[in-house]
Amino acid sequence: MCRTLTSLFASFALFTPMHPTLTHAGNIHPGPTGTQSASTNIQGQTPSFFTAGDETRIAYRLDGPADKPVLVLSNSIGTDLHMWDAQVPELTRHFRVLRYDMRGHGASGVPSGAYSIGRFGRDVIELLDSLGIERAHFLGLSLGGYVGQWLGIHTPERIGRLILSNTAAYLGPAEQWDEAIAAVLEAEDMKETAERFLLNWFPARLLEAESPVVERFRNMLLATDRQGLAGSWAIVRDTDMRRTISLISRPTLIIAGEHDPVTTLEHSELMAGTIPEARLVVLPATHMTNVQYPAEFLEAVVTFLTDSGGKGIHVKAE
């Protein structure tokens, strides 16, 4: 049964490779050794790469002390690993943070055709294998939350604790995604698609103020390959985990946006009611809760991952 840890809040106006190090079974692996410190500037640095089993190159970054537990961050569709830049300085006080660009996004390769949730999940496992990381915590937002659910279902032995933010187990019907895929592949560029995404991701007050934060996400969207977006939409079209998430056995936190028009609060409540002992935090945000309520988002994440009993989450957003 779900335990809702935060009630709904007041509404507001409106998404060079390192050498592997092996560890003992059952531990959250502290990650590969390296000299990069938590204070290292995370902007503008060249990512590392590994090659997945199907020969697709995947870009990734490791930040934070090498002796900390590993936390994998998985981003939203239409973004790259830099969507977490603002959170990395705080997270690296507690974790070795591993971010990556999903295939079809950022600096990673862009295979043709439809992508699958299984392939996206295996990309994470193969990345961990390439770095000698046996087990890690996982935080996925939006499409990254789809990946997190798959990992929790199929590879629980590789996951410490699981955080699913602004995501869903199912977003049907399939027909709407077929239309979206066709439209983006036929479009000349990503301009119109980018603006539609931003309307769903951010509240009106940020869009009207021409926020620099919004501009950074706009640039990520404009830089996204249309095939990468279309291939990823096929995952959303073809995936239904509403029943299978009941198999998730890892401690799970779900973070929802009260005003999220994409992965709605109802989607989060369904997941929280299906995943055994899942905990639910609701913030008065739209889709990008990590951007709109960064302090409250980080408090929920860090407390859940570091609290020995996993019960100490107390988040309040005004």
Parent domain of 178:
3-39+46-306
| 315 domain residue, yes or no | no
| Number of folded domains that form the chain | 1
Contact 263, 287 (CB under 8 A): yes
| 151 domain residue, yes or no | yes
| 311 domain residue, yes or no | no
Residues 200-217 pLDDT 10s:
999 999 998 888 999 999
pLDDT band at 317 (very low <50, low <70, confident <90, very high): low
Q: Say yes or no to pLDDT of 3 above 50.
A: no
| 318 domain residue, yes or no | no
| 86 domain residue, yes or no | yes
pTM: 0.86
Domain containing residue 12: CATH number: 3.40.50.1820
| 312 domain residue, yes or no | no
Mean pLDDT confidence for 232-244: 98
**Strand, helix or coil at 280?**
strand
Q: How far is CA 110 from the centre of its chain?
A: 19
So what's the pLDDT on residue 46? 85
279-283 and 159-165 strand pairing = unpaired
| 314 domain residue, yes or no | no
So what's the pLDDT on residue 141? 98
So what's the pLDDT on residue 41? 38
